[in-house]
Amino acid sequence: MSTPQPIPLDAAHFDAKARQWDDNPVFRERGLKIAEAIRKAVPLNRQMSAFDYGCGTGLLSFPLKDALGAILLADSSSGMLDVVAEKIAAQGVTHMTPVKLDLLVDPPPAQRFDLIVTSMTLHHVPDTNHILRVFHDLLNPGGYLCIADLDSEDGSFHGIGVDVHHGFDRTDLGRRAEQAGFADAQFQTVFSIAREREGGTRDYPVFLMTARRAGA
């Protein structure tokens, strides 16, 4: 018998999901709840530049847009970015820019940011320490990092064989963030995703980690 191959959730996977992404009320509510928690945890202002990594259709950045300056929305899926671009045009927004970018293979943007937000994307990035270092280097001193993702789970969130992190242990992620040069990592639960699984409904909590690049 052959060994089952891990199933990657690549850009083609997200391209295929992009048009229906915003139809999911759970995704929309998750974005709103994470944005609300970020607004409470971070002193946002219209002078702050922001970077949303793994932006999807922008469900996190759109609720934050009126509190921020320029926002760069990056994703490796062209399908997701097409939807973002259409929403930007439809709403007449002038300070949000979509960009196709995979920080695992592409060079990082040249500019620096005051805020990085990322929602439900970290578990898709194999090397957590590497991406934390990249985020650190993309921030101005004193800049904020806001990561929303799943708490540790048993792999049932995505299903057997899907090649992603099974959530994150908060203490371990906080330590990794510190090692990457961040200070004052704080965690809170901001949302919970209910999914039907064998044996009934399972709840998958979503945390928000906020931390600052040292050296403000």
Ligand X SMILES: C[S@@+](CC[C@H](N)C(=O)[O-])C[C@H]1O[C@@H](n2cnc3c(N)ncnc32)[C@H](O)[C@@H]1O
Chain residues that interact with ligand X, rule: CB under 6 A: 11, 14, 27, 31, 54-56, 59-60, 75-77, 80, 102-104, 119-121, 124-125
Nearer to ligand X by C-beta: 16 or 214? 16
Shortest distance (Å) from residue 71 CB to ligand X: 13
Do the bridges between strand 139-150 and strand 200-213 make them parallel or antiparallel, or are there none, so unpaired?
A: antiparallel
Q: Taking CB positions, which residue lies at the least distance from ligand X? A: 56
Shortest distance (Å) from residue 87 CB to ligand X: 12
Shortest distance (Å) from residue 216 CB to ligand X: 27
What is the torsion angle, in degrees rounded to the nearest 10, for the CA atoms of residue 188, residue 149, residue 34 and residue 213? 70
Encoding tokens for residue 19?
């048009």
Shortest distance (Å) from residue 24 CB to ligand X: 9
Q: Which residues fall within 8 angstroms of residue 84, CB to CB, at 6 or more apart?
A: 55, 56, 57, 58, 73, 75, 96, 98
Alpha-carbon gap, residue 176 to 201, rounded angstroms? 32
Q: Determine phi and psi for 198, rounding to 5 degrees.
A: -55, 130
Nearer to ligand X by C-beta: 67 or 178? 67
Shortest distance (Å) from residue 47 CB to ligand X: 24
Nearer to ligand X by C-beta: 78 or 178? 78
CB 187 within 8 A of CB 200: no
Nearer to ligand X by C-beta: 70 or 99? 99
Nearer to ligand X by C-beta: 15 or 178? 15
Q: Is 162 exposed, middle or buried (0-12, 13-18, 19+ CB in 10 A)?
A: middle
